[in-house]
Structure 1
């Protein structure tokens, strides 16, 4: 058995009609085209990341899961059904508006076989002046009103627009109508799912020149019209050396931490830990002598059996784990 160590993966990049080139600012080598998504830690039929560093370089996250199971992913990190890794970690470059969309819950009858629902959260890494997102329906919009608006082309009148800036955090439970808009760069922590129901796509052509498919019936079926549980917050009250909880749900806990000196931490047997480096630079120490340099845009999977580790430098990280 190899000794546990922090795993970094080669991202899987996805071209999207709304993507751009902003992921290059993290030093990532991205393919040509409109790159909207970097799947940083992924174990999904539509994208599986391979280890970049250390003795297990070249192995896919699916192979790590199959070989090391509970020892590395924790008691909660391995599904009894032999399912895939529970989370999907992405960086999103929204050079243009995303479609207005909604995600299903795990128990939605229309889900593709083997697919999970999709509850997610966003942390805004960067935002242009006047950037905004679509975040939920306006108060008291009903199922029938939404259906009528979709038929009349007035759906934008039913949606809440929210201005965003770097450091904003949004929790988006399944069933919440939402869309990222142009000019935002986002870290996304989500259930490991690639099921999105598009409600409206601004009548624009996709990458192939044809309108992208809409999923009106599925969307109306899964939309939650009252009390979605969506919460958002500014995170500038974060204090160095203390974790600020951004999202906590049955699928993940996400916390923001500011590092300005050595910070002693440890993993738990229950769950792996995922670190997303948001800004600044620093070091990750483990096993007394081992060290990795941290820089913005990097994502690391720390095995549950890693034990004690330290963060140092001047950096901001997101820490995610299973509750």
Structure 2
């Protein structure tokens, strides 16, 4: 059937995690019982495929959208003949406890699981308790030998940089960057469509099944970018209304932050879909075929061929697109 493009909203796939909590309920999201660490808001992955909740395509999965409309709706940069899947995975994370110390591989790592990609990602801090922090990269002069020694001697934390965080901070995390979110933050994550994580350290705590979670020391040591992978961070609290501020840029995604304080006319591009994450506040999105109220915690996929649309209200929005490569 022929469907006119419109902003797609999806039912999140909720993931229980040993470090999760209940903070995502503040976005009026339905959480199952348990410690919910991740809401996969827009996903097309074997471990989680989200389904449309609005409009003509309600009930259809993102995989169906890809198969039926991928080339036109995802755009020339966003549709891949090679991999097939939607190129990005959009999450909200509730870090009620510290995440494991971890690192992700690049696309060309020869021990990737079959069908998987590497994982470059970015974080935008939606909320942070006082004194909240993250692990972000290595200290100076930490090479593979120094890391191996620190792991063997049980002092891996001595090799890592701790960074204080607050709401509005943005972190770009290229594959190869050692990192970990810590307790007390709620985060929007935009990443490559991958679920590959190598754990270096997990505080010797049991997982949800009561057993220690698996570590991946050899793979981690192999993929760490000891001289840095180009990680960048910024504070974006001074964003001017009606202007886009680039907060993360990679070969896989460009993420911009915008503050809506008055009607703002925008347009999608034939090159890429746009993902909108409503980070704060509320308002409306209008397009040729209709108008929809939106609020914080909601995520929308705007097809590349949607064309003109308008944001209005009082809200902060993250916009993600796929650049040409």
Tell me whether the two structures share a fold, i.e. TM-score over 0.5: yes
Instruction: Specify the alignment match of 1:282 in structure 2.
Output: 283
5+ long unaligned stretches in structure 1: none
Please state how far the C-alpha of 1:77 moved relative to its aligned partner. 1.3
Instruction: Specify the alignment match of 1:308 in structure 2.
Output: 308
Q: What CA distance in whole angstroms lies between the structure 1 residues aligned with 2:162 and 2:83?
A: 40
Aligned ranges for residues 83-232 of structure 1 at < 5 Å?
Answer: 83-232=84-233
5+ long unaligned stretches in structure 2: none
- SS of residue matched to 1:157: helix
Instruction: Specify the alignment match of 2:3 in structure 1.
Output: 2
Q: What CA distance in whole angstroms lies between the structure 2 residues aligned with 1:82 and 1:101?
A: 25
Instruction: Specify the alignment match of 2:294 in structure 1.
Output: 294
Please state how far the C-alpha of 1:265 moved relative to its aligned partner. 0.2
Instruction: Specify the alignment match of 1:322 in structure 2.
Output: 322
Q: What CA distance in whole angstroms lies between the structure 1 residues aligned with 2:145 and 2:291?
A: 57
Q: Is 1:81 aligned with 2:82?
A: yes
Please state how far the C-alpha of 1:83 moved relative to its aligned partner. 1.7
Q: What CA distance in whole angstroms lies between the structure 2 residues aligned with 1:15 and 1:86?
A: 24
- SS of residue matched to 2:39: strand
Q: What CA distance in whole angstroms lies between the structure 2 residues aligned with 1:82 and 1:184?
A: 33
Please state how far the C-alpha of 1:14 moved relative to its aligned partner. 0.3
Q: Is 1:27 aligned with 2:28?
A: yes
- SS of residue matched to 1:80: coil
Instruction: Please say if residues 177 and 228 of structure 2, whose CA atoms lie closer than 8 Å, have aligned partners that are also in contact.
Output: no
Q: What CA distance in whole angstroms lies between the structure 2 residues aligned with 1:39 and 1:12?
A: 5
Q: What CA distance in whole angstroms lies between the structure 2 residues aligned with 1:148 and 1:48?
A: 40
Please state how far the C-alpha of 1:172 moved relative to its aligned partner. 0.1
Please state how far the C-alpha of 1:140 moved relative to its aligned partner. 1.0
Once structures 1 and 2 are overlaid, which stretch shifts more, 296-305 or 71-80? 71-80
- SS of residue matched to 1:23: helix
Please state how far the C-alpha of 1:82 moved relative to its aligned partner. 5.0
Q: What CA distance in whole angstroms lies between the structure 1 residues aligned with 2:41 and 2:302?
A: 14
Q: What CA distance in whole angstroms lies between the structure 2 residues aligned with 1:44 and 1:59?
A: 15
Q: What CA distance in whole angstroms lies between the structure 2 residues aligned with 1:84 and 1:2?
A: 20
Q: Deviations over 1:79-103 (max 9, x none)?
A: 1225200000000000000000000
Instruction: Specify the alignment match of 1:235 in structure 2.
Output: 236
Q: What CA distance in whole angstroms lies between the structure 1 residues aligned with 2:279 and 2:121?
A: 18
Instruction: Specify the alignment match of 1:258 in structure 2.
Output: 259
- SS of residue matched to 2:25: helix
Please state how far the C-alpha of 1:227 moved relative to its aligned partner. 2.6
- SS of residue matched to 2:145: helix
Q: Is 1:63 aligned with 2:60?
A: no
Q: What CA distance in whole angstroms lies between the structure 1 residues aligned with 2:134 and 2:19?
A: 14
Instruction: Please say if residues 125 and 167 of structure 2, whose CA atoms lie closer than 8 Å, have aligned partners that are also in contact.
Output: yes
- SS of residue matched to 1:156: helix
Q: What CA distance in whole angstroms lies between the structure 2 residues aligned with 1:168 and 1:176?
A: 18
Instruction: Specify the alignment match of 1:267 in structure 2.
Output: 268
Q: What CA distance in whole angstroms lies between the structure 2 residues aligned with 1:295 and 1:69?
A: 27
Q: What CA distance in whole angstroms lies between the structure 1 residues aligned with 2:83 and 2:121?
A: 22
Please state how far the C-alpha of 1:216 moved relative to its aligned partner. 0.1
Please state how far the C-alpha of 1:237 moved relative to its aligned partner. 2.0
Q: Deviations over 1:53-77 (max 9, x none)?
A: 0000000000000000111111111
Q: What CA distance in whole angstroms lies between the structure 2 residues aligned with 1:203 and 1:227?
A: 27
